[in-house]
């Protein structure tokens, strides 16, 4: 396996321990809005307790934080992908059916999804009737025949994923909009760009040869700033006029808010769930932690970023202004479940240190990504 592939080959060499939740952690969810009567949760041997009301308990899309995950990033499917590419779709389908009782191994998004489920367990303990929680949708281009293997794999890994979108080769973007998706993770960079163009937060996932262990009890999400949380306005100044003009522009516009970037809405959704824990006195024990990891300098250009976040009403738990220093070593210490950046140079650097990094193909930096410009300021 290559150390870092620009083609999103899904390889996962490590995995977190399987999480098991008690019945009290899984009944329903709790929020302030939902006061309807619910049936008691039923235990299923070997699986977690699920809320039952004539079926499985699901949040409504308008209430949930919906994360759509491609099967190629949730599971290891490179062998099957090779069959498809070398032998065609019919042989691929035959192969999948013949192996449908063999579960896929975990892929790069697997620890992230497990962490989402761990947060849901805590939310259900605190808010047994709320629908404000993470809802995971499995999105795949696969034919429905492959669904049996995917379901078997989900059950094998004890994942709580009941919503599937199997498009049989068609684009999933319209379905993502119908699900009111807050984040889409895929191995297909073209579909990620298509999602971003439709206003859906999205990123392409990559995997390093080295994978760092991550927390099983706290979801950690790290974001770059410009062209991820914020627009690429300042990045355009740097690319066109250099560092001195960039600093001058930031000083002159210190009190002018940055426009929003493609993942601002996802940070907002995370913050909404964090506040549910704060309301129960659990700020110091919150199972969600967010990070800003930016190449901006603190004194010369950081204040505008912080003022923008504050004006948006968004909190970042930790902010690292690296002044151009490599991000990989800092991310190795943070150990996020996922890190979002718009420049492949930083994605690769993070991956080399064992961080699961996701590329957000947005903004002016996309014209420079293939050059791997080490002097990039983002």
Q: Do domains 61-205 and 219-376 have the same CATH topology?
A: yes
Give the pLDDT of residue 365.
77
pLDDT at 105 over 50: yes
Query: Which pair of structure tokens corresponds to residue 61?
Result: 């899309």
Model pTM score: 0.81
According to CATH, the superfamily of the domain at 61-205 is: HAD superfamily/HAD-like (3.40.50.1000)
Whole-angstrom Cα distance, residue 236 to residue 223? 19
**Whether the Cβ atoms of residue 318 and residue 222 lie closer than 8 Å to each other:** no
**Whether the Cβ atoms of residue 74 and residue 107 lie closer than 8 Å to each other:** yes
- Per residue in 237-261, pLDDT (tens digit) is 777 777 777 888 788 888 889 999 9
**Whether the Cβ atoms of residue 108 and residue 37 lie closer than 8 Å to each other:** no
**Domain limits, the chain:** 61-205, 219-376
Give the pLDDT of residue 131.
93
- Per residue in 204-243, pLDDT (tens digit) is 997 667 788 999 999 999 999 999 999 988 777 777 777 7
Whole-angstrom Cα distance, residue 163 to residue 66? 11
Q: 10 Å Cβ neighbour count for 20?
A: 11
**Whether the Cβ atoms of residue 274 and residue 288 lie closer than 8 Å to each other:** yes
Give the pLDDT of residue 34.
41
- Mean pLDDT (the chain) is 82
- Comparing C-alpha atoms, which of 29, 33, 31 is closest to residue 57? 29
Q: Which alpha helices (DSSP H) does 202-343 contain, by range?
A: 233-241, 243-252, 264-278, 303-312, 328-334
Whole-angstrom Cα distance, residue 283 to residue 26? 21
Whole-angstrom Cα distance, residue 25 to residue 41? 10
pLDDT at 9 over 70: no
CATH fold, domain 219-376, is Rossmann fold (3.40.50)
- Per residue in 326-362, pLDDT (tens digit) is 999 999 999 999 999 999 989 998 998 899 999 999 9
Whole-angstrom Cα distance, residue 209 to residue 227? 27
Active site residues: 224
Residue percentage of the chain with pLDDT more than 90? 60
């Amino acid at each position: 396996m290559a150390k870092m592939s620009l083609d999103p080959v899904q390889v996962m060499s490590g995995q977190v321990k399987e999480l098991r939740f008690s019945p009290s952690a899984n009944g329903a969810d709790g929020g302030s809005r939902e006061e309807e009567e619910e049936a008691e949760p039923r235990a299923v041997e070997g699986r977690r307790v699920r809320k039952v009301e004539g079926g499985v308990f699901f949040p409504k899309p308008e209430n949930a934080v919906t994360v759509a995950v491609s099967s190629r990033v949730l599971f290891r499917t490179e062998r099957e992908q090779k069959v498809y590419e070398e032998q065609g779709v019919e042989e691929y389908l035959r192969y999948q059916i013949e192996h449908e009782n063999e579960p896929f191994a975990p892929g790069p998004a697997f620890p992230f999804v497990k962490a989402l489920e761990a947060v849901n367990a805590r939310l259900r303990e605190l808010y047994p009737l709320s629908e404000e929680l993470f809802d995971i949708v499995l999105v795949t281009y696969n034919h429905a025949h492959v669904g049996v293997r995917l379901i078997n794999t989900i059950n094998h890994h004890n994942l709580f994923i009941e919503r599937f979108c199997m498009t049989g080769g068609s684009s999933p973007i319209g379905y993502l909009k119908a699900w009111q998706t807050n984040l889409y993770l895929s191995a297909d960079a073209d579909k990620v760009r298509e999602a971003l163009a439709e206003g859906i937060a999205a990123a392409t996932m990559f995997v390093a040869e080295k994978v760092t262990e991550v927390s099983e009890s706290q979801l950690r999400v790290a974001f770059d700033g410009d062209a991820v949380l914020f627009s690429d306005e300042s990045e355009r100044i740097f690319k066109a006029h250099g560092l001195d003009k960039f600093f001058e522009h930031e000083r002159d516009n210190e009190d002018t808010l940055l426009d929003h970037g493609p993942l601002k809405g996802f940070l907002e959704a995370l913050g909404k769930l964090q506040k549910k824990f704060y309301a129960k006195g659990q700020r110091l024990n919150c199972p969600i932690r967010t990070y800003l990891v930016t190449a901006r300098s603190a004194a010369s250009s950081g204040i505008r970023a912080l003022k923008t976040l504050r004006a948006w009403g968004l909190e970042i738990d930790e902010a690292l202004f690296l002044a151009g220093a490599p991000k990989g070593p800092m991310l190795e210490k943070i150990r996020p479940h996922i890190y979002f950046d718009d420049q492949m140079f930083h994605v690769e650097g993070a991956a080399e240190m064992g961080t699961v990094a996701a590329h957000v193909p947005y903004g002016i930096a996309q014209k420079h990504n293939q050059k791997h410009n080490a002097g990039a300021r983002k």
